[in-house]
Structure 1
Amino acid sequence: MPDQNAPHVAVETDVAIIGAGPTGLFAVFECGMLRMKCVVIDTLEAIGGQCSALYPEKPIYDIPAHPAIAGADLVHRLEEQAAPFSPIYLLGRRVEALSERDGGGFELRTSKGELVRARAVIIAAGAGAFGPNRPPLNDLSAYEATGAVRYMVARREELRNKRVVIAGGGDSAVDWALSLKGIAKRVTVVHRRPKFRAAPESVAQMEAAATMGELDLAIPYQLHGLTGKDGVLDHVVLATLKGEEKAVPADHLLAFFGLSMELGPIAEWGLGLEKHHITVNPATCETNIPGIHAIGDVATYPGKLKLILQGFSEAAMAAHAIHPRIYPGEALHFEYSTSKGVPAE
């Protein structure tokens, strides 16, 4: 994987892609198929975005042709797909400034001093910098330091034969409950109400597993406290809105209350924003600044679905919309990949 590490280096490219998650990686492929070179910049030290950072082993079920694929495996396949086009990855840094250049194009400055000069920009930064929403519990940091309280699961085997309490009502909580019920010693799912925000089929599977005694549901309860010593957890204390409490034996608490999103410097670039998202033309994914496009979770427009597969489609639309900027006056004759193939590395 190429990586440009030297500070104050000017990198010339056709397209600068901000964000190395699945959507950004697929944008490399789509641009490459149109003979456009890419530089990919990401704040994380590795490619993959949230798939790598938050759920590398979590199965993803809505990727076409993959009934189930782990986040890390999806990232690996996308990296392989992009490899023939030799993208430059600038990892572990963020874009601090973006400005338009005289004569067209853009200049991006990274936190490590590189200057990236590009004729177009694709923002595929998820919803910006992210971090977990942390529950307001006493002594939380002590349990975070030992790994007793976690907001992601890198390896399921670390939880084998452990007593795990999962808090949350979305897809992450339900999916991990199903994934861990055959590995952990006991799984207890805590939610403040019977209705979950996860995929209905997954919720049905979880409820069926609870009926069969494969996991426990603590409803309607909320997190109330942690008990243990020196960061070693022994119980998670739960409480109802009426103040009824119970302590659940636990070695680990997995808290899935979503991510705290922050656009960072992107918010200062004069782009049209709507609730921390970038508004785009749904036909081209272009923002209010010509030549800057946004795709994936960070982009919004009427009818937008926050699905990886929709981000893939947006990557293709953005690449085709950018092509005339890179090759002005050249007619783009659309060809299917089955006809034109993929360049050899």
Structure 2
Amino acid sequence: MHTTDVVIIGAGPVGLFAAFQAGMLGMRCHIIDALELPGGQCYALYPEKPIYDIPGYPKILAADLIKQLVDQATPFNPVYHLNQRATELITTDNSFIIKTSEELTIQAKVIIIAAGAGAFDFNKPPLTGIELFENKSVFYFIKNRNDFINKKIIIAGGGDSAVDWAISLAEIANKVYLLHRRDKFRAAPESLRQIKQLADAGKITIITGYQLDRLIGSDGYLEAVVVKDLDGNLKTIEAEMLCPFFGLAQTLGPIAEWELQLKSHHIAVTSPHCMTNINGIYAIGDIATFPGKLKLILTGFSDAAQAVHHAYARVFDGKALHFEYSTTKGLPR
């Protein structure tokens, strides 16, 4: 069993900032996340998409924001438990025990739930044998853009992720096809302008009115993808990579069974400290709801600071917190 002061569930931007805040107050911290790297949806869905409302950054890519937040928390040595989910909560007299899907057990005095929209998995197309190609030539998110250099790629989907990645990969790929079953895409106007410009220049081929039908290849590596229109007509496209970007299936998962007060698939908390109905458990960021709540990363950062400062007395057995600005005290040694 691991023992720590704080367990943070969720390694998205808000969870990472909570780890920094905990470190600034001398709290040991463990972080649990279902993905294989920190970053949450910023990492999984739009790492190269610019964010415009982070204070101090007129524009910052999502991946760069995550790197900065990881670096900010690193001096405090948070312990990451990735590729697993928090599945079970046990309440004791003065602490909590969290069990994960990888049979890990962590005891802590405080739990901070920063799970964004909740546990999620990628919506996968219902193609026979697709699991044989996953992580070899079929990818539901992109970890490393350079893996696609000089490749023939099909990107399926009509939202921001599909359009943004088509624009990005067109710079380095041999060929990019953007496949969507409808004529209209659900993406930002500037992205649509760029995608049209690239299509006019022959750098992207847009195929609408078709959907995925069958994969052709062996040993997990694609050779072609068969697509089908609404009339059943088939078309075969040579491709080495397929990226189906069909969004996420989101759910609270096991957290919904923890006797927390829920409201419209969110966790109800009291403002400003983001305490749930269970003393010692906080919820911050998009998963938390209270009157006037704004779903912005920057308000999630505020939630994190409020929750961690409020949790100080519980972690340190009633000790009063004497607030100091970071410019005064610097980083704890």
State TM-score, norm by structure 1: 0.80
Q: How far, CA to CA, are the matches of 1:251 and 1:305 in structure 2? A: 42
Note if 1:143 corresponds to 2:117: no
Question: Shift in Å at residue 25 of structure 1?
Answer: 1.4
The residue number in structure 2 matching 1:316 is 305
Residues 95 and 107 in structure 2, CA contact (< 8 A), matched pair in contact too: no
Q: 1:67 is matched with which residue: 53, 59, 67?
A: 59
Q: How far, CA to CA, are the matches of 2:221 and 2:312 in structure 1? A: 56
The residue number in structure 1 matching 2:121 is 131
Deviation per CA, 1:178-232: give whole Å up to 9, x if none. 1100111111111233433333332332233223332122223322333345544
CA change 1:198–1:115 in 2 (3 A) is same
Question: Shift in Å at residue 260 of structure 1?
Answer: 2.6
Deviation per CA, 1:5-63: give whole Å up to 9, x if none. xxx34x141x22122333211101122334443232334555444555x36x9314114
Note if 1:107 corresponds to 2:125: no
CA change 1:92–1:247 in 2 (3 A) is closer
User: How do 1:148-227 residues align onto structure 2 when only pairs under 5 Å count?
Assistant: 148-227=137-216
Q: What SS does the corresponding residue of 2:320 show, helix, strand or coil?
A: coil
* Identity value in percent: 49
Question: Shift in Å at residue 91 of structure 1?
Answer: 4.5
Q: How far, CA to CA, are the matches of 2:228 and 2:123 in structure 1? A: 20
The residue number in structure 1 matching 2:11 is 20
Question: Shift in Å at residue 298 of structure 1?
Answer: 3.0
The residue number in structure 2 matching 1:259 is 248
Deviation per CA, 1:61-83: give whole Å up to 9, x if none. 11442734362x44332222113
Contiguous gaps of at least 5 residues in structure 1:
1-7
AA of the residue aligned to 2:121:
G
State TM-score, norm by structure 2: 0.83
Q: How far, CA to CA, are the matches of 2:41 and 2:283 in structure 1? A: 17
AA of the residue aligned to 1:189:
L
AA of the residue aligned to 1:311:
G
Calculate the aligned-residue CA RMSD, in Å: 3.1
Question: Shift in Å at residue 159 of structure 1?
Answer: 1.5
CA change 1:227–1:282 in 2 (3 A) is farther
Residues 4 and 29 in structure 2, CA contact (< 8 A), matched pair in contact too: no
Question: Shift in Å at residue 269 of structure 1?
Answer: 0.6
AA of the residue aligned to 2:230:
L
Residues 93 and 112 in structure 1, CA contact (< 8 A), matched pair in contact too: no
Residues 216 and 222 in structure 2, CA contact (< 8 A), matched pair in contact too: yes
* Stretch deviating more after TM superposition (25-34 or 178-187): 25-34
Q: How far, CA to CA, are the matches of 2:195 and 2:285 in structure 1? A: 29
Q: How far, CA to CA, are the matches of 1:28 and 1:236 in structure 2? A: 43
AA of the residue aligned to 1:98:
L
How many equivalent residue pairs?
A: 328
